[in-house]
Structure 1
Amino acid sequence: MDIATTPKLELIQVADVVARDKGIDREEVLIAMEQAIQKAGRSKYGPDHDIRATIDRRTGDISLKRCTTVVEEVEDEFAEITLEQAKKIDPALEVGSVIDEPLPPIDFGRIAAQTAKQVIVQKVREFERKRQFEEYDGRSGEIINGVVKRVEYGNVTVEIPRAEAVLRRDRLLPRETFRQGDRIRAYIEDVREEQRGPQIFLSRTHPEFMRQLFRQEVPEVYDGIIDIKSVARDPGSRAKIAVISYDSSIDPVGACVGMRGSRVQAVVGELQGEKIDIIPFSDDPATFVVNALAPAEVSKVVLDEDQGRIEVVVPDEQLSLAIGRRGQNVRLASMLTGWDIDILTEQEESDRRREEFRQRSESFIGALDIDDVIAGLLVAEGFASVEEIAYTEIDDLAEIEGFDADIAEELRTRAFNFVEAERQRHDERRRELGVTDDLVELEIFTPAMLVTLGENGVKTLDDLGDLASDELREILPDAGFDEDAANQIIMAARAHWFEDEDGAETNAGVDAAAEESDPEPTA
């Protein structure tokens, strides 16, 4: 566009065409033209002057003027004037007033016209980028259709409405290829404003892509009658989705499968044959995990909520099915449910229980000087340590079949004496190792823990304060400290590094750590 030869009305028409073609506001195009004319004006009259251009929005007339601001003290002689000088021009002027001096129309030369054109192109591009970002910002999580514009090194550039997006090769399904002109459907994973302009990143491997595909294919999901609670994918191979219905008359699994599998097959076709297991969701973790491991059958489930783990026992012949090829089935089930899943066969679980029974029985026999029958009865009642026996009420022990009050009292006395002896032994060992009383005064570690700390070089508050939370948990793996509790213990050990007049910080840290971990006393 050559502003030098563009008639006035045609200038307005050009602005209309550019605005329509680029999808930006007409006013923004006219502002870009005014800035281009201003730049050309500064080139002619000097860059220090405050040159302003205005295009009449109706007629296309261009007015050019030089502006001078009235000030108390002049700092820029090209753009400012003193109040005294301004009064000579117009007595009504005050500080802050702006004097407009009309300038004759610019006779654009070739260089000035080219400069103006570059400014307009640059401004229009900036407005276009701003419009693209505003249009797609906040649309992450949607599915969008586009056309492949080009493919470079496996990365696909997709032309979408009034913008371009990038589908990186690591966001494509395995063995999936596209050519220029192919239609494509993808998930908007991220929209970022970068120096080179807004960048829209697409994905066909994101778990939410599958959720949105079902939302498009299953009306009940779109209407919110059926909710997809979680999605786990091994892109291009297999996936699991957990669904729940808020209408008791609608089967969520059947609705997602569709008549003769029509709905799920539409999603499978879009994902290049990815197999999809549709799982009924349950608020009960054990039931949910059992459902997620389908098609394998589960015999028994044991939850460990503190560790976020779940132990699943399956028949021996179901082990390979439960684990899946290269662990795929159990891995997807874990992703779907949010639980770490350990799978055992019935034989493995039986062997482990026998070994635990034997170890506990031997422990009781050695510690309490009892025979294997009494030890077996204690293990069968669920006692796992001598400490539990030492702090159990005599009446509760006497209720065990085959026990009476005398036996119960003797067992508890022997258990208590053993625990005290072990405590003294650990305390002596702790002193030999040089573990200071400051660690004991934290009242968070058992004597056995203090010995373990000393054997690992942690003997003072400073030593404890120098640890990271994962190091403390590694030294004391059986203490039951989670990351937050470990951090609070370490911060309590560091408290003396800072000014703390009343010691409140130390006590608060230790109390909070003790409440969270609450480890069982051990010998």
Structure 2
Amino acid sequence: MTSTIGQSIEALCTEQGLDRDMVIEAMKDAVKAAARKQFKAQDKTGESIEVEWNNEEGMIEISLQKTVVEEVENSYAELSLADAQELAGDEIEIGDMLQIPLPQEEMGRIAAQTAKQILVQKVREAIREKVYDEYIDRKGELINGTVKRFERGDMIIDLGNNLEAILPRREQSRGEIWNQGERTRVVIVDVSKDQKGQQIRVSRASSELIKRLFEMEVPEIYDDTVVIKSAVREPGDRAKIAVTSNEKDVDPVGACVGMKGSRVQSIIKELRGEKIDIIEWSDEPSVFAANALSPAKVSQVRITDINKRKMEVIVGEDQLSLAIGKKGQNVRLATRLVGWDIDIVSEEVLKKEIALQMGKMMASGEAVPITALEGVSANQAETLSEKGIADVEALAAASIDDLVDFLDVSLDEAEAILSSAKAIVEARNVEVEAPETDEAVVEDSETREITDEETSGPSDSKEEIASPESESDEVEKVSENEELTSEAVGENAAAADEDSPDARAEEER
């Protein structure tokens, strides 16, 4: 070990950004561990061996520390006064501590290798501790890096200063393809102290990435004029971000979109074409949910269970597929963005349910006012009553032209009112006919049971076993029938002979 050790320490501290005193302490520990193995003859336990750093000469000094005593009991830690005075002079007294230098040249290759391994390990631990302390408070921060290599689907990102981060496959955005050497932006999601692998785990699929990108592109977000309330993503496909403004004069959505979409387009380009919906945030859940389902237009929002955070969103038939989205993507992102369970309901289905309920009410004898129909106000109901249309059934029998004249509404509005009334009457008729159909089915089943009983009686008598006497009587009847049959055949033959031409000729003769 020469003075070049000092130069090596300075280079290591500069390159890795380590504290010089920490590196020196690590080196002292490494050399002490190697010296304990090398100088076992002088000290079996190694507790008396001391290692110090000489700043002036820039090298390590190894010594054996012993206590001066009158009578030596432990030769490894004690030294007699005569031997001590011989080594250090007559000034030595009993009780003094004497450091005896040990020759570094005697430290062989094995000891040097041991010192190197320990030093490398301690320096590595110090570097990882430094990285952890530096980056643990930077979670969610956007950093730049270069694609260095690929390992079983994972990407290793070079952050500079001999520091690497890992981008796992699950944190990569679907559809993105990267080549070695390309620059990329990632967000820090975790920092670990593990001794193996990369300490820093980054992501391109996290919703924090889109937040940081908007902060960089939109000055209003950077100075807190516009605030990002929440953001959700399905990486590579679509993202939704909710924003609000702290100033009334600033439009939060317009600020994020930019002039002709310049700001949001740069973020879409960074995310390789991922679609972004910018939503205006509201503290009212129903309003926020209606905005979150953009680009679909919502007709009505009903909160069904406030404790379980459930709501129904009613949309038109032409907006149903748009509200649900491809494979349910739009409503799924809106649910995550709002934090409520959203159930999409079609207006047509809802109208049918309401008509069915009103039809049941009419079938049970309850009165259904005309004002219960959608689009009919109290004043319009009075007008219809004056014209002789006092109930839903009379309204269903009216014509569209009459409704247009009576209510002064458009053809579309009149048609909607009339269709609602007809649907209620039809539902009432179904409810009324249902019991009669059930009674007819019951009577039919009873008739079938009676018929089955009547037909089963004769069949049972046929199945009775005939006695031997009845069998003999039947045989005699059969023989008598055969005799009668033969006689009849003979008579018929004779009659045939009489009717023949020869018989007639004979009679003429």
Smaller-chain TM-score bracket: 0.5 to 0.7
* 1:278-331 Cα distance to aligned partner (Å, 9 max, x none): 111111111111111111111111012122111011111111111111111111
Structure 1 letter corresponding to 2:257: V
Following TM superposition, by how much is the alpha carbon of 1:267 offset from its aligned partner in structure 2, in angstroms? 0.7
Count of matched residue pairs:
353
The separation in 1 between residues aligned to 2:289 and 2:26, in whole angstroms, is 61
Distance 1:293 1:124, change over 3 A: same
Give distance in 2, aligned partners of 1:271 and 1:339.
Answer: 27
Instruction: Measure the CA separation in 1 of the matches of 2:75 and 2:135.
Output: 44
What one-letter code is carried by the residue in structure 1 that aligns with 2:330? N
**Which one of the candidate residues 102, 105, 109 is aligned to 1:104?**
102
- Secondary structure of the residue aligned to 2:298 is coil
Residue 254 and residue 69 in structure 1: after superposition, are their counterparts in 2 closer, same or farther (change >3 A)?
farther
Kindly state the Cα deviation for residue 125 of structure 1 after the two structures are TM-superposed.
1.5
Answering whether residue 32 of structure 2 is matched by residue 38 of structure 1, we say: yes
Q: Which residue of 2 aligns with 1:219?
A: 219
Report the 3-state secondary structure (helix = DSSP H, G, I; strand = E; otherwise coil) of the residue aligned with 1:372: coil
Instruction: Give per-residue Cα distances to partners, 1:260-293, cap 9 Å, x unaligned.
Output: 2111111101101001111111111111111111
Q: 2:14 aligns with which of 12, 20, 24?
A: 20
* Equivalent in the alignment of 1:458: none
Distance 1:342 1:59, change over 3 A: same
Residue in structure 2 matched with residue 277 of structure 1 by the alignment: 277
3-state secondary structure, aligned to 1:307: coil
Cα distance, 1:33 vs structure 2: 2.1
Whole-angstrom CA distance in 2 between matches of 1:340 and 1:100: 79
Q: Which blocks of at least 5 consecutive residues in structure 2 are unaligned? A: 80-84, 86-91, 373-509
Aligned pairs for 1:177-326 within 5 A: 177-196=177-196, 199-303=199-303, 304-326=305-327
Please, which moves more after superposition, 321-330 or 110-119? 110-119
TM-score normalised over the length of structure 1? 0.62
Two-structure CA RMSD over aligned residues (Å): 3.2
8 Å CA contact 1:237, 1:274 repeated in 2: yes
Distance 1:158 1:60, change over 3 A: same
Any conservation in 1 of the 2:67–2:98 contact (CA below 8 Å)?
no
Q: Secondary structure at the match of 1:205?
A: coil
Indicate how the Cα distance of structure 1 residues 191 and 19 shifts in structure 2: closer, same or farther if over 3 A, else same: same
Whole-Å Cα distance in 2 between the matches of residues 100 and 248 of structure 1? Answer: 81
Superposed CA offset, 1:215-254 (max 9, x none): 1111111111111101111111111100001011111111
TM-score by length of 2: 0.64
Q: C-alpha separation between the residues in 2 aligned to 1:181 and 1:129?
A: 25
1:337 is the counterpart of 2:338: yes
- Shift in Å at residue 357 of structure 1? 5.4
SS of residue paired to 1:181: coil
Match in the other structure for 1:65: 63
Q: Residue 373 of structure 1: SS of its match in structure 2? A: coil
Q: Which residue of 2 aligns with 1:148?
A: 147
- Check conservation: 1:32, 1:123, Cα contact below 8 A: yes
Q: For residues 66-107 of structure 1, what are the alpha-carbon distances to aligned partners after superposition, in whole Å with 9 as ceiling and x for unaligned?
A: 34699xxxxx9687679xxxxx985567xxxxx453222311
Partner of residue 52, structure 2 = 54
CA contact (8 A) 2:165 2:198 kept: no
Task: Identify unmatched segments of 5+ residues in structure 1.
Answer: 71-75, 83-87, 94-98, 366-370, 381-523
Q: Structure 2: which amino acid aligns with 1:348?
A: V
Distance 1:252 1:185 in 2: 25
Aligned match of 2:418: none
Cα distance change of structure 1 residues 139 and 22 upon mapping to structure 2, 3 Å threshold: same
Distance in 2 between residues matched to 1:227 and 1:165, nearest whole Å: 30
Say if 1:56 and 1:310 are closer, same or farther in 2 by CA, change over 3 A: same
Residue 373 of structure 1 is matched in structure 2 by 366
Cα deviation for residue 195 of structure 1 reads: 3.6
- The separation in 1 between residues aligned to 2:211 and 2:260, in whole angstroms, is 20
Q: Contact 1:67–1:79 at 8 Å: present in 2 too?
A: no
